[in-house]
Structure 1
Amino acid sequence: MGCKNVSPLGIGCTILFVLMTAVAVTIIAVFYITEKLRAEADSRSAEEPSYYYQIGVGRADCTGPIANLPLMGYANPDQTAAGLHTRLYSRAFIVADPSTSRRVVFVSTDIAMVSQKLRLEVMKLLKRKYGSLYRQDNVVLSGTHTHSGPAGYFQYTLCLITSKGYIKPSINALINGIVKSIDIAHKSMKPGKILVNKGEVEGSNINRSPYSYLQNPKEERARYKSNTDQELVLLKMVDLDGHGIGALSWFAVHPVSMNNTNHLVSSDNMGYASYLFEQEKNTGSLPGKGPFVAAFASSNLGDVSSNTQGPHCVNTGESCDNPDSTCPVGGPSMCMSSGPGRDMFDSTAIIGRSIYNKAKELSRTATREIKGPINFAHQWVNMSDVTVQFNSTHKGHTCKPALGYSFAAGTTDGVGAFNFTQGTVEGDPFWDSIRDVLLGKPSNETQECHLPKPILFNTGEMTKPVPWHPDIVDVQILTIGTLAIVAVPGEFTTMSGRRLRETVKSELESSGSVKDIDVVVAGLCNVYTHYITTYEEYQVQRYEGASTIYGPHTLSAYIQSFRGLAKAIAENSVDQLPKGPEPPDFPDKKLISLLPPNPVDKKPNNTAFGDVVMDAQAAYKPGDVAEVTFISGNPRNSVGFMAGGTFLTVEKSDHVGGRWVVRYNDASWDTRLYWNKGLRGHSNVTVSWHIPYSVEIGTYRIRHFGHFKTLQFLKPIFNPYNGSSTTFQVTN
C-alpha cells in the first residue's frame, strides 16, 4: 500500500490513536511515579518517626497570706509580711510523646524552695485526680528562690522554727496553685515543637563567695571565663503553625534584689522577667491572664548574687570583699551587697529586665529543634548514709546533717546575727556550751565526719518534735529528646553545678545513641537540703560550705546518684533502678504551729471598713505616685483574695455609660499595697499606683477589696468590703 492511497480519514484516525496512546502512557507513568514516591515517603516516615510533642502550659495564682506571717528566705525574724508587691504564680509545662505513653511535667513556682511536705501533698492530690498519670518519677517541682514569699510550708523542725511553724493557709495556697497550674496545662495540650537556644546574660550576677571559688583547682577554673554561669537556656514552645505556647528558661542568680528589709510579698527579679515576657505575649490581658506562659526557673545559684555592686561596708563605703566578709568598723554585720538600682525595687526591675531581654532575643532567634523520645528516672536516697566510691582503693562517706558556725553569719545578701563570721573553721567555747545545754553535744562521729566544719547545730541527731533535717531526698532526671533536666534538691554552687552537668552529659552520651545533649541543672526541686559546694569550697567554710549539711563529700554523693540515673536512661534500664527508701510524711498534727490566730478586726468609731482616710489628689502626671489609704481588716483574713482574686484595682473611666475598665490590679508591677498595723486593733492599707510614663491620659480611680473578721457566737465571720475613692485625673 503506498502513501498516495491513504485517505485523509485514515490519517486522522492514526494521529488520534497515537495521541491517545501517548496520553495513556503518560498517565500510567505519572501514576506509577506518584505511587513510588508515596511508598518511599511512607517508608521514610516509618524509619524517621515524627517528633512533634503534645505540649501543655498552665499558670495559676499561689500567693497565699500577705500579712502578719514570716517571709521565707532570709530567716530574719523581723521580716514579716505587711503587704503585696507582686502576686506569686505557679507555672506548669507538660510535654508528652504522642507515640508512647510517656510524659513529663516541670513546674516552676514563685517560692523560696519546694519543701518535702509540699511535694508530698501535691503528689497526693495529683494521684486522686489523675491516677498514675502524674507521679513522683515524671513530675518535678522547682522554686524560683524568691526570698519574699510566705513561709510556713515545711515539715522539718529547723525550717518550722524560722517560719513560726506550720501555716495551713500558706501551704494550702501553694498546693492549690501548683495543682491548678498542672490542671490547666493538662487541659491545654496540643501538638507542637520545642526549640532550644542559649546565650549569655551580661551584668546580672556576681559570685558572692569568690574566695571559696578560688579554692577549686586552677586548671579547672581555667576552663571557664567567669566565676559564675552567665548562660541562660531557653525552651521555646510553639504549636504546629508556629504560634507561641510558652517559654521555659533557666538562669543562675539569687532572687535577692528585694533585700531583707522588704516586707512586701514579691516574686523578685525572676518573677519580673516572667511578668515582662507574659505581658508582651498576652497583649491586652491583665497580669496573670492570657494563654502564653513564661517561666524563669532557678539553676546552680548557690554562690551567685543579683546584688551586682558587690559587698561594701555600709558605714564607711569601703569594699569588704574579703574571705571573712568583715568590715574594720562594725565587723560582719556592716558588710552588705547592693544591687544596681537606686533602691531594691529599681534593682529588681534592672536585673529582671536584663534577664527578660536576653530571653526575648533567644526566643526570636531560636532555630534548633529538640527531637527524640521522653525519658525520666527518679530515686529516693538516704543522703545521711551514702558511701562514695572515688576509685578502686578510695572511698568517702556522707554524714548526718549538721550546720556549721558560718551558717549563722549569713551572707552579704543578708547578714546574720551575734557577730558570727564567714570562714569560721574553729568552734567557740561560749557558743559550744550553749549548744550543748540547749540542743545536745554532737557525737564524736558527726564532728569528725564534718571536719573542718565546727558544728553549731547537729540537726541530724535532733528529732524533737520531728527531725530537724531530711535524711531521705529525691534525685531525678527528665529527658526530652536531646535536653536533660537535672532536678537537684538544694542550692548547688557554680562549680558544683558544672561538675554535675558534665557528669550527666557524659553518661547520657556514653551509649552513642544520642549526642549533643543539653543539660540544665534545675535548682530548689522537690525537697530542700540547703547548699551543695565542691569539696574544695567546703574546706574554707564560708556560708555555703557551712550550709552543706551532709558533709564534705555531699557533692560527690549527688554526682554518684545522678550518674546512676543517667546511666539507666542511656541504657534503657530505668525499670531496674531500686526505688530507694521513701521519705516520712508527718501528719499535720505533729507539726508545730507558732503563729497565733488573727484577732478580731477593729475600726475607729463612726467609720466603716473600706472608708477612705487619705484621699488621692485631684490630678497627677505620668511618673507620679497616686496613693489612697483605706480603713481595713488584716489582709490575712481576706482568704477569698489569696488566689485568683485581687486586693486592689486601678480603673479608667471610658466616659460611655459611666463604665469603669480595670487597667491594673495587684499583680501589676506598677501597684503596691502596704498594710499598716495600728493601735487598739485598728489597721489600714495604703494602695499606691506608680503611674507609668506610657499611661493613657484620662480619669482614674483606685479601689481596695478586703475582708474583716468579727465574732458571732464565738464563731469567726468574715465579711467583705469594697473600698471606694473619689476619682482623679492623669494629665500631661
Structure 2
Amino acid sequence: MTRMVPVLLLFQILTISPSRAYRFGLGIFDITGPAADVNMMGYARLGQNTHGIHTRLFSRAFLIQEDGPSPSTVLFINLDVGMISQLLKTQVVMELQKRYGGVFKYSNVLLTATHTHSGPGGYFQYFLYSVTSLGFVKQNFDAMVTGIIKSVEIAKSNMMNGKIYVAKGDIQNASINRSPASYERNPTEERKKYQSNVDTQMVLLKFVNSSGHPVGMLNWFAVHATSMNMTNTLISSDNKGLAALMFEERLNGHRNVGQGPFVGAFAQANEGDVSPNIQGPICIDTGRPCDYVHGTCNGRTQNCIAFGPGQDMFESTKIIAQRQYEKAWELFEVAKEEISGSISFAHQFVDMTEMKVKYGGHNRSTCKPAMGYSFAAGTMDGPGDFDFVQGTKSTNPFWNVIRDMIKRPSGELERCHAPKPILLATGELNRPLEWQPAVVETQVLRIGTFLIVALPGEFTTMSGRRIRNAVTQVVRRETGYWPRIKGSSEYHVVLAGLSNVYTSYVATPEEYELQRYEGASTIYGPLTLPAYVDQFQRLTTALMKGTQLPPGPTPPYLMDHLFSGLPPVLFDAAPFGFKFGDVIAPPKSIYTQVYLESAGPIRLAIGSQRSGDQVAPEKLEGLLLPRDVPNSVLRSRQISHIPPPSLFQGDHGSVPSNMLTTAHFLFTLSDEPISLAL
C-alpha cells in the first residue's frame, strides 16, 4: 500500500491539469411566450392562464471550451421555464446542428429549468404534461426555441479567453422542506450527516475575461420557484429569475432588461421537496397546523396552504430573490478558487422502465410509469382538488371507476409500484400519445475540477445527496483523490435539476413508502433513485476514464403527431388610432412623491376610477387603515411590493407613540402613478 501512495498522488496531479486555459461566451435572449390565454405550466390548474407579465422570461447560455486547435465544448443553457421537455431539447439540438454542424449534440448540450410555475405551457410531447394546456402551443414553443438559439448565437459571437472561479456558501432563510414526514423516513444515521433537511448550499461560478473583468455568473441553489402562487396569472420568472435580473442590473447598470453584456443565471438543483414558502403550511380556516403526514385541514387539502415571508406573493418573490441575490453577490466577490483541467462529457439514453437494480440483497427492476393517488392531492405550495390527500396507500372505489375508464392498471404494474395505489397507469397508455417518457436522457458535464450532473426531474433533498455522494465517490476512486493533496484543486459536484427531459419526481425508496406527493409522483417505482445512482456512477466512471458509453435507445420525436385544443383568437384589435406596439401613455419625467410621518392613527381616502379592481383599504397588503372612512378604496393591482420591514403593527393604522412609521408603496390615483411613503 505504501508503494501505491506516490502513484496515486501523481495520477491525481496529472488528472487535474492546472495549466489548461478556457474560452467561453455568454448570451441572453428573451423567450417570453404568449401573455394571454395560455395555460401556465407548473400547478397543472385549468383556468390558470396567462393574463399579463410580471417579469419576462430569458434563456441564458454559457458556452465553454478548452483553448486549443480542437477544443472540447460544453453548452449549459439555463431557462426561465417550468421544466425541460424532451421535445424542446431535441428541437434545440436539431436547430444548433443546422447552424454549427457537429459542434453541438445531445451529449454536450445541457438544458435546465429554473422551475417557475408562472410561464406558459404547451411545449411537451408527452400527453400528461400537456393536458391542462390543451395540447401543443406552437406560438410558445417557437418563442422558446428561437430565444434559446439566439442566446447561443450571442454566446458564440462573444467568445473570449478567461478564467472561471468557484465559491460556496449557505443560505439559511430561503427554503424549507415541504415534506418533512417523508424526509424523516430516511435512515437516522444518514440524516445525522446533515445539519438541515434541505440543502442550504449555493455553489457559484464566476467568469472573468483575460483583462480581469467579470463577465458572467452561474450558480445552483435548491428551492422551488413557487413564490408566485397558483392564483397568479402574470408571466413571471419567480424568485430565481428575479434574482438574476437583480444581479445583472447591478453589473450592467440601468440598461434594458436582458440586453447588458453581463449574464447571470440562478440555476436549479435538488428542489423536489424544497419550498420558498418559509412560513410553512397552516390551516387557513382555523390557523392551526396542517396534518403532518396527510397535509390536510379537517381531512381536506384545500385549506392547507404555505406562505412566503412577504405580505403577498409579489413581496415573497422579491424577498426570496433578494436572499439568493445577496448570497450570490457575497460569493461572487470572494470567489478565488480557480477551476482548471480538461473539458469532457458523458451521456446516455436509458430505458427507465426496465433498469436492473440490486437493492436490499435482491435483483429487481424499475417499472413502467404510473402516478399515485397522492399526486392528485398536490402540495402545500399548491393543493389539489376533490378529496385526495397526501400519504394515501389505498384506492377509492369511486376514483377507481373513473381511473378504469381511462385505463385499468395491470396487476404487474400494481405489484411493481407497491405500496403506491395507482391513479393513472401512464406507462400503459399511448393514446392519443405516450403519456410519460420511457427513454430518459442522462448526462454529466466536466469542466476541469467541476462536474455538473443533469438530473432529469425533481429529485428530493436526500435523493440529490445520494446522487452527489455516488458521483463524488467515483471521482475519488478514479483520480486517487483521497485524501485531498495540500494545495491542489478540489473537485466539485453540482446537481442541475429539471434538465433535458422531465420525468416528474424522484424520492428515495424510504420516502416513497410514505406516498406523499413526491413519492406518488416518482413514476418508475420505488427503485427509481437506486437506478439513477447506478446510472450516474456509470456515466462518471466513463467520464473520468475517458471512455464512451453506448448511446442507448433514441427517444421518440413526436412533433408530427402533436395537436392543439387551444381555441384561436377570433378577433383582436388595437385601440382606435393606434397600432400594436404604439405607446399609448408614455411615462412622465417627474412624478409627485408624497411623504407622511405619523405617530398615531392614519386616515386616508383614496378613490379609483375602476370599481372592478377595488379592495377595502384595511385589507391592503397587511397595511391596516381605519374602517370608518367611507368609500375608501384602492386598486390592488397597481401596488408594488412593500419592502421589509413594514412597521404598521397596530390595528387600523395606529402605531406606538414613540415610533414614526415608514413604509413605501405605489398606487394609482385617478390613473396617475404616485409614490407614497407612510
Q: Same fold (TM over 0.5)?
A: yes
Deviations 1:619-653 (A, max 9, x none): 53279999999xxxxxxxxxxxxxxxxxxxxxxxx
Matches of 1:452 and 1:595, distance apart in 2: 37
Indicate which of 570, 578, 585 corresponds to 1:599: 570
SS of the residue aligned with 1:131?
helix
Question: Do the aligned residues in 2 keep the contact of 1:615 with 1:726 (CA within 8 Å)?
Answer: no
Provide TM-score, normalisation by structure 1: 0.77
Aligned partner of 2:235 in structure 1 is 265
Read off the aligned partner of 2:471 and give its amino acid letter. Answer: V
Are the structure 2 counterparts of residues 237 and 117 from structure 1 closer, same or farther at C-alpha, using a change threshold of 3 Å?
A: same
Aligned partner of 1:220 in structure 2 is 190
CA displacement at 1:150 relative to structure 2: 0.5
In the alignment, structure 1 residue 421 sits paired with structure 2 residue 421? no
Aligned partner of 2:472 in structure 1 is 505
Deviations 1:673-700 (A, max 9, x none): xxxxxxxxxxxx999585999xxxxxxx
Indicate which of 127, 130, 151 corresponds to 1:157: 127
Provide TM-score, normalisation by structure 2: 0.83
Are the structure 2 counterparts of residues 687 and 217 from structure 1 closer, same or farther at C-alpha, using a change threshold of 3 Å?
A: closer
Question: Do the aligned residues in 2 keep the contact of 1:113 with 1:525 (CA within 8 Å)?
Answer: yes
Read off the aligned partner of 1:521 and give its amino acid letter. Answer: L
Matches of 1:623 and 1:380, distance apart in 2: 62
Read off the aligned partner of 1:578 and give its amino acid letter. Answer: P
SS of the residue aligned with 1:75?
coil
In the alignment, structure 1 residue 484 sits paired with structure 2 residue 443? no
SS of the residue aligned with 2:103?
coil
Are the structure 2 counterparts of residues 686 and 341 from structure 1 closer, same or farther at C-alpha, using a change threshold of 3 Å?
A: closer
Deviations 1:336-362 (A, max 9, x none): 101000000000000000000000000
Question: Do the aligned residues in 2 keep the contact of 1:398 with 1:550 (CA within 8 Å)?
Answer: yes
Deviations 1:285-338 (A, max 9, x none): 12212110000000000000000000001111111151001112x621110101
Aligned partner of 2:434 in structure 1 is 467
CA displacement at 1:587 relative to structure 2: 2.6
Matches of 1:566 and 1:475, distance apart in 2: 11
Are the structure 2 counterparts of residues 188 and 484 from structure 1 closer, same or farther at C-alpha, using a change threshold of 3 Å?
A: same
Task: State how 1:601-620 maps to structure 2 within 5 Å.
Answer: 601=572, 620=592
In the alignment, structure 1 residue 376 sits paired with structure 2 residue 345? yes
Question: Do the aligned residues in 2 keep the contact of 1:92 with 1:185 (CA within 8 Å)?
Answer: yes
Question: Do the aligned residues in 1 keep the contact of 2:17 with 2:341 (CA within 8 Å)?
Answer: no
Aligned partner of 2:40 in structure 1 is 71
Matches of 2:110 and 2:641, distance apart in 1: 39
In the alignment, structure 1 residue 345 sits paired with structure 2 residue 302? no
Deviations 1:87-146 (A, max 9, x none): 000001011111342011111000000001111111110010000001111110000000
SS of the residue aligned with 1:57?
strand
Read off the aligned partner of 1:585 and give its amino acid letter. Answer: Y
CA displacement at 1:604 relative to structure 2: 8.7
Matches of 1:623 and 1:357, distance apart in 2: 29
Indicate which of 19, 29, 52 corresponds to 1:83: 52
Are the structure 2 counterparts of residues 236 and 164 from structure 1 closer, same or farther at C-alpha, using a change threshold of 3 Å?
A: same
Indicate which of 248, 257, 267 corresponds to 1:278: 248
CA displacement at 1:245 relative to structure 2: 1.1
Matches of 2:329 and 2:151, distance apart in 1: 23
Question: Do the aligned residues in 2 keep the contact of 1:623 with 1:692 (CA within 8 Å)?
Answer: no
Aligned partner of 1:395 in structure 2 is 363
Task: State how 1:555-566 maps to structure 2 within 5 Å.
Answer: 555-566=529-540
Are the structure 2 counterparts of residues 447 and 101 from structure 1 closer, same or farther at C-alpha, using a change threshold of 3 Å?
A: same
Matches of 1:103 and 1:410, distance apart in 2: 40
Task: State how 1:147-296 maps to structure 2 within 5 Å.
Answer: 147-296=117-266
Question: Do the aligned residues in 2 keep the contact of 1:615 with 1:628 (CA within 8 Å)?
Answer: no
In the alignment, structure 1 residue 332 sits paired with structure 2 residue 301? yes
Read off the aligned partner of 2:183 and give its amino acid letter. Answer: Y
Are the structure 2 counterparts of residues 209 and 691 from structure 1 closer, same or farther at C-alpha, using a change threshold of 3 Å?
A: closer
CA displacement at 1:512 relative to structure 2: 2.2
Read off the aligned partner of 2:397 and give its amino acid letter. Answer: P
Task: State how 1:99-118 maps to structure 2 within 5 Å.
Answer: 99=68, 100-118=70-88
Read off the aligned partner of 2:290 and give its amino acid letter. Answer: C
Are the structure 2 counterparts of residues 364 and 605 from structure 1 closer, same or farther at C-alpha, using a change threshold of 3 Å?
A: closer
Are the structure 2 counterparts of residues 352 and 622 from structure 1 closer, same or farther at C-alpha, using a change threshold of 3 Å?
A: farther
List alignment gaps of at least 5 residues for structure 1: 1-43, 630-684, 694-724
Read off the aligned partner of 1:166 and give its amino acid letter. Answer: F
Are the structure 2 counterparts of residues 333 and 291 from structure 1 closer, same or farther at C-alpha, using a change threshold of 3 Å?
A: same
Matches of 2:595 and 2:170, distance apart in 1: 32
SS of the residue aligned with 1:539?
helix
Matches of 1:373 and 1:607, distance apart in 2: 56
Aligned partner of 1:448 in structure 2 is 415
Matches of 2:637 and 2:583, distance apart in 1: 13
Matches of 2:579 and 2:534, distance apart in 1: 63
CA displacement at 1:284 relative to structure 2: 3.0
SS of the residue aligned with 1:332?
coil
Question: Do the aligned residues in 1 keep the contact of 2:39 with 2:120 (CA within 8 Å)?
Answer: yes
Are the structure 2 counterparts of residues 549 and 195 from structure 1 closer, same or farther at C-alpha, using a change threshold of 3 Å?
A: same
- Among all aligned residue pairs of Structure 1 and Structure 2, give the percentage whose two residues are the same amino acid: 47
Matches of 2:341 and 2:575, distance apart in 1: 66
In the alignment, structure 1 residue 550 sits paired with structure 2 residue 524? yes
Aligned partner of 1:432 in structure 2 is 400
Question: Do the aligned residues in 2 keep the contact of 1:627 with 1:686 (CA within 8 Å)?
Answer: no
Read off the aligned partner of 2:468 and give its amino acid letter. Answer: R
SS of the residue aligned with 2:385?
coil
Question: Do the aligned residues in 2 keep the contact of 1:616 with 1:726 (CA within 8 Å)?
Answer: no
Q: Relative to total residues, which structure has the larger strand share, 1 or 2?
A: 1
Read off the aligned partner of 1:580 and give its amino acid letter. Answer: G
Question: Do the aligned residues in 1 keep the contact of 2:372 with 2:521 (CA within 8 Å)?
Answer: yes
CA displacement at 1:159 relative to structure 2: 1.1
Deviations 1:598-630 (A, max 9, x none): 11126899999879799999953279999999x
Indicate which of 312, 316, 324 corresponds to 2:286: 316
Aligned partner of 2:110 in structure 1 is 140
Are the structure 2 counterparts of residues 613 and 89 from structure 1 closer, same or farther at C-alpha, using a change threshold of 3 Å?
A: closer
CA displacement at 1:432 relative to structure 2: 0.7
Deviations 1:257-288 (A, max 9, x none): 00000000000000111011000000231221
Question: Do the aligned residues in 2 keep the contact of 1:64 with 1:169 (CA within 8 Å)?
Answer: yes
Are the structure 2 counterparts of residues 607 and 359 from structure 1 closer, same or farther at C-alpha, using a change threshold of 3 Å?
A: closer
Are the structure 2 counterparts of residues 614 and 319 from structure 1 closer, same or farther at C-alpha, using a change threshold of 3 Å?
A: farther
Indicate which of 505, 509, 514 corresponds to 1:535: 509
CA displacement at 1:242 relative to structure 2: 1.5
CA displacement at 1:433 relative to structure 2: 1.5
Indicate which of 563, 572, 588 corresponds to 2:546: 572
CA displacement at 1:526 relative to structure 2: 0.6
Are the structure 2 counterparts of residues 622 and 83 from structure 1 closer, same or farther at C-alpha, using a change threshold of 3 Å?
A: farther
CA displacement at 1:52 relative to structure 2: 2.1
In the alignment, structure 1 residue 93 sits paired with structure 2 residue 76? no
Aligned partner of 2:662 in structure 1 is none
Question: Do the aligned residues in 2 keep the contact of 1:626 with 1:688 (CA within 8 Å)?
Answer: no
In the alignment, structure 1 residue 405 sits paired with structure 2 residue 373? yes
Which of these two proteins has the greater Rg computed from alpha carbons?
1
SS of the residue aligned with 2:302?
helix
SS of the residue aligned with 1:585?
coil
Matches of 1:349 and 1:269, distance apart in 2: 7
Aligned partner of 1:525 in structure 2 is 499
